Structure 1
Amino acid sequence: MRAWGIGNYPFPNDDEGTYLAQAWAVRHGELAHYTYWYDHPPFGWIQLAAVSWLPSWLLPDLPTFVQGRIAMLPVAGATCVLAYVVGRRIGLVRPAAAAAVLLYALSPLAVLLQRQIYLDNFAVLWVLAAFAFALSPRRHLWHHVAAGTAFALAVLSKETVAVLLPVLLVTLWQGSHPRTRKFSFAGFGSGFVLTGLFYPLYALLKGELLPGAGHVSLLGTLKFQLGGREGSGSPFEAGTDAHRLFADWLTRDPYLLVGGAAAAVCALVVRRLRPVALAVLVLALVAMRPGGYLPQMYIVQVLPFLALTLAGLVQAGIARLPGRPRLRIAAALAAAAAAVAVAGPHWYEEDHSAVTADNNRVYRDASRWLRETPVGDRAKVRIVTDGVLWLDAVDAGYRPGTGAIWHYKLDQDPAVTKTLPHGWKDIDYVVSTPALRGEREHLPTLRDLFAHASPVATFGEGGGRIDILRIENEPATQIESTPATQIQNNQ
């Protein structure tokens, strides 16, 4: 389900290109393809660097975001295995644990978001590993140390999962023996703190822990992340970004979201299900807080816990039925049939679209243009792209950073602006994508580029099209009214 049509759907998100470019930088000895400003801990794209080199080597002709998505397949597979392990360790019988994995793996939201190159996918893998170690039936001290280490690696992959720390402590309390519990907590704390300290220690050694003039800083960026960026509004208020995001999630999969959330409230009274139920409720409360920033991929963190809670509560209900085992087997089959009848048609429609739709031809065409169209000496040509196509431009021979320029850095990074003494006049081409056009009103240099650009090729039509724009000395006119039919390039 993940691999079928992975390069065709969904439409690329600029974050995917950013993380993939940062993974490329790791393979070349840096933490980011531009100045690393502590926007996220780097362990997520360090892992991406470790898994993405093979698809890029085996399939060099594919657009780089497709190569990156293929690299996410083993991450999705390992996450499903760990979801099964956690299910078994909270007391699910094998069929129930397998059902939880199916609920998780076939959910349209998981099919959509686990294909994409998101740090949350790495974080969820490590969170599930931490839960599996904390619930280890052997109750070995080193398992609890490993739980702390795994959770630290989850936070270093995507810092937002740190809100699950209280839940994991409750899990460790349930999974440890009363006589050795204090050693279990000490071991967990040691693994978590000693692993997590690598990040602030790196910033300290670079002189970038505290804010100051002339450099980025870990604490300065953290302050911005917590209070400086614009919030998404309340999910209960129509018209806000959070409300639209919740509506989109519920449109794609109302059954697992509503069913799993309801199950989490009921499962709090079942001791063995309490860890996964608390995880659902904590993550849901964080998502529903008014005024906070809520990204599209946040729901990735909740999905496995929703599936485990729902499957666990159904099993608990069936176990309470009186009578012979045959009655319970019949009840389990009836529950499975009811799930298929209720959610099956909607899931089939959503998943069928995911594996058959082709939304990304424009990106494949633009990537081919970058690689094949002669524009002179690419090492000297300057081209502005969005995050998704930046690495394609680099692979095509454009100079990283100051030749192939990520549009977001035009006015944001002094290392780039100092190489453009004449501003927009120093740029030769712009690859105009939906993400790039959406930012032009906020970036003065990008706005000037659009005012002095003429299209040489167009791929697709409407708002999802991609235009190749050549920068002219004279102002361009009516760029937005350029016909949306494809303009053939010289080839």
Structure 2
Amino acid sequence: MAQHSRGTTVPGQSPATLPGPAAGHRLLALDIVLALLALAGGLRVLYLAAPAPALPAEAANVAHAYALGHLTPFTDAGGAGVSPFGWWQLSAYTMVTDAFGRSATALAAVRETMIVASVIGVVLLWFLARRTGLTRWASAAAALLLAASPLALGLQRLVVVEHLAVVWALGALVLLTRPGARIRHDVLAALCLLAAALTSPLALVFLPAAGWLLVRRSPVRAALVAVLLNLGLGIAFGPAADALRPHLADPGRPSVADWVALDPAWAVLSTVALVAALAVASLRPFAVTGLLLVGALLVPGVPDTAVLALLLPLTPLLLAGVVQAVTRHRAPAHRGNPRRRGGITVAALVLVAIVAAGWVYGYPALRPSTDRAGPLAGAQEWLRANASGARVLVDDAAWAELAKAGWPTGMLVAPAACAAECPPAEWAVFAGDAADLRTRYPAIDAAFDGSGPTAIFGDVTVSRLGLPPTDPTAPSESSARAHAGAALAASTRIAFAPDAAAVLRAGHVDPRLIATIAALAAFQPVRVAAFPAVPGEESAGQPRRQVLLTGGEDGVAAFYTGQRDLFRPASVTRTGGGVLVTYPLFAPPGLLVPFSSP
């Protein structure tokens, strides 16, 4: 008698070709990894933009990446660390992808590398968790923490080479935990560890974990990896030290407290997991590495941001592993007891709620910016309009942005060139507080010689260097402008818009405009629609040097184009609203001497 299979068959398909449970599990794992990739990449693109570099090391790394990719010499201001191999990696990405050509700023271009590195790190963490013995869902939870935590988003968008180093280190650990690994996998792992150490010397703390995993599997192959690694480190830190040896950046803000504020729940849970993981055999090597990194935070002179960048992917792995170990230990005792199983579920929900509560605060604190250009772009446009081709003294952040914008790098004076005496420069552009640079390079302070800001864009200050010092006994220019402006506003031959009259009476109008408007009123009635502010100059206290005149436009244009010497405008432009007259910067002193009396 024929026997019939009880299984379900598909017409035209043999039972042997039906997808089995293993294939379904692989597809589910692939779906989870793709979802994590989309989440990690999408969130990091959203939070990529920021108005300026967050720390000196980031600005220096961006500038070095641009200089290497464009074969341009550059020496940073110092204190930002050294990582030739890390800079080559950043430069290689920007050259292959044309990131500088596509991005609005040099900072955003190099931060793309951090997005790619963080996404790769999420994938490597997933594989490491699976090979460590975590379930599919525990591995997904660990990767989700790394992908979506506000702390990870804020830290991993910064251009610090430790983000590249941790990818190399995770790659080595994934190779060392590969089932059935062969010698070639161990050799690749040794090369990855070498690359991590050459990117950042802090990555050497991963060597104990790597050695522990190797000794567990094969002491002989552990010795082979140790020989290869020592040979590579000996060459890199010996004969090739000038070209390859990395150095850490100086410590500075942001500090650990600044980063922990983005996700305090993760910080607390990570501390617990680092200690508890020592009791789990499969997690012990990673817990030791994590504790070594925590110890590095206590060492004076070690930058907190660099240490946290390396610690970031370890703590989700340990936390997920500890939770899984506790759950598996208690599950047999609670089997058949719905009340106790419900207690585990409630505890899990409480844990998720604690993490989510921290994220509710952390995400708004990241403050993503819709302005992809940033204040340095405004400063660059201002310089192009007012000081094109001039020699400019710049800090590391301004060097990269001006070089990307097409400013000749030979006309950019980096702070490192001011070790003894600054080369002659007409302008200075500094992003953020320049007090540290002035302290480190006294020649920069001498170059300013009392020069005040000419234009301010956010935290970027543009200053004119080499101006003659102000005579303290000279009459106040601001008072003279106010008195002259009040007299002009009282003229019956000039009609002012209310806002324009207020600016004039407040003494915020260039003396050349006051004098020429008064002269023009002797020939024809004048209508002043506005004194438009030049972007960046108002906040620097510069008087307004533009005026929009309406009515009798032919006569207005002829009058201003016929001016000579001190009163020649920089431009006279017909617009839809009237004639826009713009004067150059810095009116000569003494034009309004009759109005200088108090």
| Distance change (3 Å), C-alpha of 1:326 and 1:388 | farther
Residue 373 of structure 1 corresponds to 385
Residue 59 of structure 1 corresponds to 102
Q: Does 1:341 align with 2:348?
A: no
Distance 2:439 2:470 in 1: 17
How many angstroms does 1:10 deviate by? 7.0
Indicate if the aligned counterparts of 2:176 and 2:185 stay in contact, CA closer than 8 A. yes
Residue 460 of structure 2 corresponds to 466
Distance 1:295 1:95 in 2: 31
Q: Does 1:390 align with 2:402?
A: no
Distance 2:195 2:142 in 1: 25
Residue 238 of structure 1 corresponds to none
Residue 253 of structure 1 corresponds to 263
Distance 2:376 2:313 in 1: 31
| Distance change (3 Å), C-alpha of 1:35 and 1:253 | closer
Distance 2:423 2:224 in 1: 59
Residue 267 of structure 1 corresponds to 277
How many angstroms does 1:443 deviate by? 1.5
Q: Does 1:276 align with 2:286?
A: yes
TM-score (norm 1): 0.78
How many angstroms does 1:185 deviate by? 1.2
Distance 1:486 1:103 in 2: 48
Indicate if the aligned counterparts of 1:318 and 1:331 stay in contact, CA closer than 8 A. no
1:252 partner SS: coil
| Distance change (3 Å), C-alpha of 1:96 and 1:133 | same
| Distance change (3 Å), C-alpha of 1:78 and 1:333 | farther
| Distance change (3 Å), C-alpha of 1:429 and 1:295 | farther
Distance 2:269 2:105 in 1: 38
Distance 1:91 1:49 in 2: 37
Give 1:404's aligned amino acid.
L
| Distance change (3 Å), C-alpha of 1:425 and 1:279 | closer
Give 1:186's aligned amino acid.
A
Q: 2:437 aligns with which of 436, 439, 460?
A: 439
How many angstroms does 1:121 deviate by? 0.5
Give 1:251's aligned amino acid.
A
Residue 150 of structure 2 corresponds to 108
Q: 2:219 aligns with which of 171, 176, 182?
A: 182
Residue 230 of structure 2 corresponds to 193
How many angstroms does 1:355 deviate by? 5.3
How many angstroms does 1:190 deviate by? 4.0
How many angstroms does 1:132 deviate by? 0.8
How many angstroms does 1:374 deviate by? 4.5
Give 1:34's aligned amino acid.
T
Give 2:321's aligned amino acid.
G
Give 1:387's aligned amino acid.
D
Residue 315 of structure 1 corresponds to 324
Give 2:456's aligned amino acid.
T
* Bigger radius of gyration among the two: 2
Query: After alignment, is 146-155 or 105-114 more displaced?
Result: 105-114
How many angstroms does 1:245 deviate by? 2.1
Q: Does 1:42 align with 2:84?
A: yes
Q: Where in structure 2 are the equivalents of 1:8-407 lying within 5 Å?
A: 8=50, 11-29=53-71, 33-34=74-75, 39-53=81-95, 54-60=97-103, 62-174=104-216, 176=217, 181-200=218-237, 203=240, 245-289=255-299, 291-320=300-329, 321-322=331-332, 323-324=334-335, 334-354=346-366, 356-357=368-369, 361-370=374-383, 372-376=384-388, 378=389, 381-400=390-409, 402-407=410-415
Give 1:403's aligned amino acid.
M
Distance 2:187 2:449 in 1: 58
Distance 1:56 1:63 in 2: 9
Residue 214 of structure 1 corresponds to none
Q: Structure 1 stretches of 5 or more lacking a match?
A: 210-216, 233-240, 418-422
| Distance change (3 Å), C-alpha of 1:354 and 1:368 | farther
1:22 partner SS: helix
Distance 1:24 1:457 in 2: 26
RMSD: 3.4
How many angstroms does 1:439 deviate by? 2.1
1:432 partner SS: strand
| Distance change (3 Å), C-alpha of 1:476 and 1:107 | farther
| Distance change (3 Å), C-alpha of 1:7 and 1:332 | farther
Q: Deviations over 1:91-123 (max 9, x none)?
A: 111110110011122222211111111101000
Instruction: Select the structure with the greater relative contact order (CA < 8 A; seq sep ≥ 6).
Output: 1
Distance 1:9 1:129 in 2: 32
2:288 partner SS: helix
Query: After alignment, is 294-303 or 355-364 more displaced?
Result: 355-364
Give 1:396's aligned amino acid.
A
Give 2:426's aligned amino acid.
D
Q: Structure 2 stretches of 5 or more lacking a match?
A: 1-42, 473-536, 546-569, 571-581, 583-598
**What is the identity percentage for the equivalent residue pairs of Structure 1 and Structure 2?**
25
How many angstroms does 1:270 deviate by? 1.0
Residue 430 of structure 1 corresponds to 428
Distance 1:121 1:278 in 2: 20
Indicate if the aligned counterparts of 1:431 and 1:468 stay in contact, CA closer than 8 A. yes
2:469 partner SS: coil
Q: Deviations over 1:140-199 (max 9, x none)?
A: 22212221111110011111111222222112223x1xxxx2331133124423443452
| Distance change (3 Å), C-alpha of 1:466 and 1:58 | closer
Distance 2:445 2:304 in 1: 26
How many angstroms does 1:369 deviate by? 3.2
Distance 1:435 1:167 in 2: 41
Give 1:386's aligned amino acid.
D
Distance 2:77 2:434 in 1: 21
Residue 418 of structure 2 corresponds to 411
Indicate if the aligned counterparts of 1:153 and 1:195 stay in contact, CA closer than 8 A. no
How many angstroms does 1:65 deviate by? 0.6
Indicate if the aligned counterparts of 1:451 and 1:477 stay in contact, CA closer than 8 A. no
| Distance change (3 Å), C-alpha of 1:425 and 1:250 | closer
Give 2:59's aligned amino acid.
G
1:373 partner SS: helix
How many angstroms does 1:202 deviate by? 5.5
| Distance change (3 Å), C-alpha of 1:47 and 1:164 | same
How many angstroms does 1:452 deviate by? 4.2
TM-score (norm 2): 0.65
Q: Deviations over 1:40-90 (max 9, x none)?
A: 341111110111232535425x12111111232111110111111111111
Q: Does 1:475 align with 2:469?
A: yes
Give 1:265's aligned amino acid.
V
Query: After alignment, is 424-433 or 36-45 more displaced?
Result: 36-45
Indicate if the aligned counterparts of 1:63 and 1:392 stay in contact, CA closer than 8 A. yes
